[in-house]
């Protein structure tokens, strides 16, 4: 097992050697074999792509009953604090109707994905669903779904290897590695940015219709933050006739998009000039990985860093419903068409959703269930932010 490995900007150190992983898989396989001994049907082994490929392959070698391999791929809003929903990227490769299913996962943390997956499988007609996971983070598991087979329990740490990745790298490693930290909890390589002063910098994140605008004012008021909405900021700079505002206006009048550097300049100007607050709440920025990297550089120059990303998450069906309702109230027929709304959702998934993994990698991602009434959602947001 290598002493340390480097993936992108992070250093990882040895955590679980392959020999220990094998022993855990032996134990899981033995338990499954006991439960399915003498079965006359052909249960389905469901490999949840991509993370559980290596675990599934090793597990199958050890099963002594007939089984069929089926796979599916999910992308989920679930994070360390998730209660969100799951979106199918690739559906089931075979029917599970009237079949018993053993779900094979690489790791379970909050359990949000597992809970939704069980509902999906029962909806597809599975007669029984058992959950098998190589790793479990018990301190953050929040669901009531029974986990039938668990290889190992681990702390709530960021790990890679044996199918687990950091921004798609590290899956092929035989051993499992954990993010290497020094005494003050900062990664050994490029240091994780941390706040050295009193200012806090929050990113309010979520799909269109998640309620960011509805909640932002209340968040800013309660925690004495300056709410920076990129749309409002552009209008304010244009109205004030600042150099940046005039540049933005000329681009908008010409039908061009306002480039990132102009928006970034306006935001940095707010950081420099706004006084009497305890921090900033960024709403609508960053929207892309490039913007997130620019924000990190901007704050690093100030000796600061993003405190947390607050992800207000709702499923696609609710995004569609809320946008359509809002457009109808505001009389914006152009925004109410099914095609327009579907395109907005598609753009979000393609362009903005990758920020989830970016901030997970930085260990700044915090998810909040955006479903329910305004006050209920606000209470969840406040409860999370109190921790910071």
Same domain, 206 and 355: yes
- The gap from C-alpha 24 to its chain's centroid, in whole angstroms, comes to 28
Rounded distance between C-alpha atoms, residue 150 and residue 156, angstroms: 16
For residues 83 and 141, the model is more confident at: 141
Q: Which CATH number goes with the domain that contains 291?
A: 3.40.50.300
Interval 116-129 mean pLDDT: 94
Helix segments in 226-276, DSSP class H = 230-240, 243-253, 260-273
The residue among 48, 53, 21, 49 whose CA lies nearest residue 174 is 21
- Is the dihedral angle over the CA atoms 32, 33, 35, 39 positive or is it negative? positive
Render pLDDT for 316-338 as a digit per residue (tens, 0 to 9): 788 777 777 666 666 555 555 67
Q: Is the pLDDT of residue 84 over 70?
A: no
Rounded distance between C-alpha atoms, residue 218 and residue 76, angstroms: 27
For residues 190 and 277, the model is more confident at: 277
Rounded distance between C-alpha atoms, residue 165 and residue 163, angstroms: 6
Same domain, 330 and 374: yes
- Is the dihedral angle over the CA atoms 331, 334, 336, 341 positive or is it negative? negative
Same domain, 216 and 109: no
Same domain, 123 and 163: yes
Q: Is the pLDDT of residue 383 over 50?
A: yes
Report yes or no on 191 lying in a domain. no
Report yes or no on 184 lying in a domain. no
Tell me how many domains the chain contains. Answer: 2
Rounded distance between C-alpha atoms, residue 269 and residue 284, angstroms: 16
User: CA dihedral in degrees (213, 219, 237, 243; nearest 10)?
Assistant: -130
Same domain, 79 and 159: yes
H/E element holding 313?
strand 308-313
Longest dimension (CA), the chain: 79
Rounded distance between C-alpha atoms, residue 156 and residue 121, angstroms: 28
Most confident of 7-16, 50-59, 176-185: 50-59
Report yes or no on 113 lying in a domain. yes
pLDDT band at 43 (very low <50, low <70, confident <90, very high): very high
H/E element holding 317?
helix 316-330
Q: Which of 31-40, 194-203, 302-311 has the lowest mean pLDDT?
A: 194-203
Question: What three-state secondary structure class fits 229?
Answer: strand
pLDDT band at 130 (very low <50, low <70, confident <90, very high): very high
Q: Which of 128-137, 217-226, 242-251 has the lowest mean pLDDT?
A: 242-251
- The gap from C-alpha 361 to its chain's centroid, in whole angstroms, comes to 10
Same domain, 22 and 147: yes
Same domain, 14 and 146: yes
pLDDT band at 160 (very low <50, low <70, confident <90, very high): very high
Report yes or no on 66 lying in a domain. yes
Q: What is the reported pLDDT for 186?
A: 44
Report yes or no on 381 lying in a domain. yes
- Determine what percent of the chain is predicted with pLDDT higher than 90: 37
Q: What is the reported pLDDT for 258?
A: 66
pLDDT band at 139 (very low <50, low <70, confident <90, very high): confident
Report yes or no on 64 lying in a domain. yes
Q: What is the reported pLDDT for 86?
A: 58
Same domain, 132 and 66: yes
The residue among 70, 149, 67 whose CA lies nearest residue 108 is 149
Q: Which CATH number goes with the domain that contains 119?
A: 3.40.50.2020
The verdict on pTM exceeding 0.85 is no
Same domain, 38 and 86: yes
**In what side-by-side order are the strands of the sheet with 10-16?**
5-7, 10-16, 176-179, 159-160
Q: What residue numbers bound the domain in which 322 lies? A: 200-385
Rounded distance between C-alpha atoms, residue 277 and residue 379, angstroms: 22
For residues 208 and 368, the model is more confident at: 368
User: Where a domain ends, among 128, 145, 179?
Assistant: 179
Q: Is the pLDDT of residue 16 over 90?
A: yes
User: CA dihedral in degrees (54, 57, 58, 63; nearest 10)?
Assistant: 150
Report yes or no on 73 lying in a domain. yes
Same domain, 29 and 149: yes
Rounded distance between C-alpha atoms, residue 383 and residue 376, angstroms: 11
Same domain, 212 and 152: no
User: Where a domain ends, among 147, 179, 211?
Assistant: 179
pLDDT band at 14 (very low <50, low <70, confident <90, very high): very high
User: Where a domain ends, among 179, 213, 235?
Assistant: 179
Same domain, 89 and 22: yes
Q: Is the pLDDT of residue 81 over 60?
A: no
Report yes or no on 194 lying in a domain. no
């Amino acid at each position: 097992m290598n002493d340390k490995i480097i993936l992108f900007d992070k250093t990882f150190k040895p955590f679980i050697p392959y020999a220990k992983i094998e022993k855990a898989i032996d134990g899981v396989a033995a338990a499954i074999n006991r439960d399915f001994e003498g079965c006359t049907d052909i249960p389905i082994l469901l490999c949840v792509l991509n993370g559980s490929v290596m675990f599934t392959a090793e597990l199958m070698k050890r099963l002594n009953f007939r089984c069929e391999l089926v796979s599916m791929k999910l992308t989920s809003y679930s994070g360390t604090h998730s209660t969100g929903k799951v979106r199918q990227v690739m559906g089931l490769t075979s029917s599970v109707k009237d079949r018993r299913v053993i779900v094979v996962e690489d790791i379970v943390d909050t359990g949000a994905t597992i809970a939704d997956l069980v509902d999906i499988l029962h909806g597809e007609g599975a007669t029984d669903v058992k959950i098998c996971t190589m790793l479990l983070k018990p301190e953050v598991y929040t669901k009531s779904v029974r986990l039938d087979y668990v290889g190992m329990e681990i702390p709530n740490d960021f790990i890679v290897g044996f199918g687990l990745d950091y921004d798609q790298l590290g899956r092929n490693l035989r051993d499992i590695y954990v993010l290497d930290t020094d005494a003050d909890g900062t990664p050994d390589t490029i240091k994780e940015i941390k706040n050295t002063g009193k200012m806090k910098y929050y990113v309010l994140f979520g799909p269109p219709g998640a309620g960011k605008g509805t909640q932002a004012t209340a968040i800013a008021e309660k925690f004495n933050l300056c709410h920076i909405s990129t749309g409002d900021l552009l209008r304010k700079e244009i109205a004030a006739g600042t150099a940046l505002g005039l540049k933005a206006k000329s681009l908008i009048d010409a039908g061009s998009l306002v480039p990132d550097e102009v928006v970034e300049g306006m935001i940095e100007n707010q950081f420099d000039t706004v006084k009497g607050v305890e921090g900033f709440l960024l709403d609508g920025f960053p929207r892309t990985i490039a913007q997130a990297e620019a924000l990190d550089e901007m704050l690093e120059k100030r000796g600061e860093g993003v405190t947390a990303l607050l992800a207000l998450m709702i499923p696609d069906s609710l995004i569609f419903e809320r946008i359509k309702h809002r457009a109808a109230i505001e009389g914006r027929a152009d925004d109410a068409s099914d095609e327009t709304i579907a395109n907005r959702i598609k753009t979000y998934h393609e362009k903005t959703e990758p920020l989830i993994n970016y901030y997970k990698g930085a260990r700044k991602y915090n998810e909040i269930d955006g479903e329910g009434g305004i006050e209920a959602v606000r209470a969840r947001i406040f409860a999370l932010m109190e921790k910071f």
